[in-house]
Structure 1
């Protein structure tokens, strides 16, 4: 709305608005703070006065009741002392004196249902209006014990008569008459105290409480009758016409709190706003309060209001005059500067302004001159920079196009992550292999396509990337979108930004599922060929050699019977055939170690342990879980060769004295352990031997995991574990 308005008018408006708001806020703040302070002081004074009156009345009531009970007790003590004197003078027997004393005591009531009773120092009731309590031991009550100790004084307690369902608060005053050992107790229920109170004892104390000019205190009962009031005492306020009866009824209903109402005292023509704080005395069903007119407290506010208005008018007149003066001293030089800028916008960078002062406007003129000089230089430099930048942008665009073309043409899936592991790009080959579209994964992590059992090596790869090292090719597994598991070889490296800070990583996931399947098929074919050869050796060649051995044995017998010279030669032939049969069996067992054993893998592993111990004198043992049955002959064969390779390495290289082999199942996994107590594997050689390479390859083929733990002079632990499958169970 001020886009076309001059600065002079804007300054006038803004200064006026600023001072108006500032003064309004300042004066309003002062006024509100003053008003709140006054109101808080009023309410605090009234509240404190109400509390003081409440305490004064309750204390006065307690003292009045105490005085009443004490007066009754002392009066009855005088009567008993008079009867006791008659007994001493021989006018009455002691029994007659006590009987008259009982009648006098029992003939009196305190309030509506209060009474007088007597106890002796043993706590036995000797005088009581209820005959069922006479001669009753009440020393078990705490207030009775207090009576017996104090002998004289005021006491409050709770008491339940035999014919009542619950106890009620009660008070008594007690005096001890020693000649008869009577504790004279004048008692009354607290709920009946209001009938015993003498208002004259404290009326003047309440009326003397004053605050402000006309503030006063009052006491009224629950029916609206003014018990203590400076003008309406003894009057039922609810029945008086012209008084705010609805507010007084509200006070009787609320019993505690504050109320603001209009009140007109007798003799006044107009009602005035009044503030009242009040409290409830439950025992007497009384309400005590303190009230005062609000106008008596708000006099200073009217003075402040008048002062604020006058100050505001004077200040605004000064502001308007000063604003006109200031605006003219600013707008004239600015108008000249605007004209110069208009000329400079047409391309004339030679314009300059005259510097006539050293204030901000003079400095603005100097800055304009300097700006025009630099603007001329920047104009020429900018043209050159634009040309250079255009060439750089064209080169960068060509480089990005080449980079994207290479990525999209790559046959292997390629993923680019930021340093938080979120996807920023992957090529079409990734969607082809794994099924996810780039829009589904952009800006998200791909944790969901990592199988749980492959997280250990995945975390190692993540650590390598975060350290900025090159990630060597690592075989692992990943899920596709359909839940299929693919074997992949992962490699990659981190890249840095223009500040040489790690900015992300490029990861290549080569799908080797088909390669591993073909490799396994080749190994299975090799194993099947070995098994076929072993079966043929065992089932064909060995019986054949055994048959030949039998015929030669028969030939030997025939030659021996004929006393021929060929007996020794025939015996040698039989020996050689026997050795050939043993070697054929050994070859068959080596080529088909599990299939040829009736009891499967565990029997074959036990045979490895026995043969090792027999051939090397190294203690070698096997322990297996009898309930674990592996019916997949290919899986059993690989496990057999893994154990055989591990045992051979331990025998040849570790110098071990003990080798333990164990096969067990825990939860969803089966575990194979080969543990020796040798010298361990050298860190430089670990993982480089052909035997260990073959073991690792067999582990990958069967989908298992391999852990090798080796310490110098502490031996080596080889741990193979894998998930159980249906082929492992009958």
Structure 2
């Protein structure tokens, strides 16, 4: 079969250059297009931003001018009103002065006040809205209130405005301090309950009568006229493309471009896109800022200006109005369309220039690629001949004979390949050394922890190719660390190993402390270590690697090496991590086995001591008494054989029972053997245990047997009984329960026993320290059973043990 000719490496750059040039052209074109598009978008955004700013200034300025007009008109109205009522008060003051001058010597002050009051009472102005009022300063009482006589004779302090403030009481303070002044109050008249009339007035003190004389004007009609004038002005402001509208804070429209909408709710206003633009305006004006801008699509007064519009609304609190202005943004859209057309023309010219320049550049690049492809072929021939000669030798490539930098780099890589092979062999040796360390660690069960720590530090130094190393343990609260091992292979004197168990605070622990604080490996190859942070090393200027080991989310130990001939890599971190993980698991297993052996020895010692004590008590006390009873019954039996054979037979039965008791006592005393379990069975023994618990602890103890355990090994039955007994007695002694339930279930495969009480329970952490629980677990392990002890939060204890046959 004829082989398909393959592409030559020397010609590949030429073809690749073609593809690269085309791809580069496409990339440059795409990048240029993207750049032009971004520039276009930036220009559009700039135009849009400028117009938006101008539109915002326009509508905000329109609203500001309208508000200024309203404030000016209100000020003017109040000024005219104040001048008018000042003149009215001055007229009344003049009348009172004349009356006092002509009749002051003939009539009393009270009569004169009454006469002046009756003169002023019928005087009204402003279509009956203006009136006079007067009162005594010393008594704080009204004597004249022409608008509503109801207030005459009343004390000033009892009348309040809608805010609860006494409005007449302020008159006394004003005339006492200043003699005259303007007042403004809201008056609730008896004829109109719940309705307050806004009143603007002026008062002046008349000393001969100890009177304050005032004139008031109900300005509600003035406010209404002023509002109508403002609404008329708003209709006149609709020029220059800006439309002004207004609605109350409850949404009722009071001025709008479309007169049909006046009186309707602003919430019924929708834009051309169907959005609730009116509701959005109301929400913006009633928000925290009480003003806001809103964009929408709508049609202005000129139907040809349909498009995007910008509105600005602002609350005018004094009247409960919301004033708004809207303007069309057609000029902005036209500017954007013009800018788009300009960019299209510029882009077309740029594309044409780019295509021409690209063709010229492609021709030049292709010619250059062909020339250099010939040179590459010559270099490859030289390189191939070199590798043929170097395949069976260890010589390195002479880079001086290479023309191109790439070939020189290949030569570097070829030389580095030999070095990498040596490095990999060294790493393989380190892996073998680590495995050997772990294997030897498994055989160091009889060695002390300090020997293990020293061994691990030595191997860590050896595996990482370092000259110094240490191992430090960290306490549970991560505040202190102890140096447990240190090696310095370059020092042969007594200082090559620091004293063990040097303890320092983490804040002053040097390199191990940094690893603890960071909680991750610390690799430093820049050799810039401050002198106060070099602990446990005695000098600086070395590479160092410090690896913490985490267990349960906290750092338990740190192993570190320093002084390597080469910078430390991630592989060194992995080697050290695997090494200390294996050591930590081994140490944990050793500690667990030692703790288990200690506990078992403790249980066995206590159990043996208890059995010996009970055995001695049974043998020395109960055994002696039973033996004495047996001797007395024997003597009595011999005497009754001659006197009463029938009674002798009965006494013989008693002697038999005594002998059995003696035999059982001996058996118990010899090994504290559970006779009742062996002879009567586990179920009967548990029933006797329930009865005994009721007698001892005054508690209700029930026994539930699902199936009688037959064929059960006596040793297993005895251990089950002892565990159940320990659980029942623990509940009775410590839990103060009202009820204890014992549940026994047996099957052909095994069985289970459960003891449940409703007592106060116990803390499982504290309960693990008790000897009783240890002995129960020990007995369960002795027969290969599983024991679970649970104390729920609501109280009580559940002891469940299951076993297999």
Range into which the TM-score falls when normalised by the shorter chain:
0.3 to 0.5
TM-score normalised according to structure 1 size: 0.47
Which structure has the larger Rg?
1
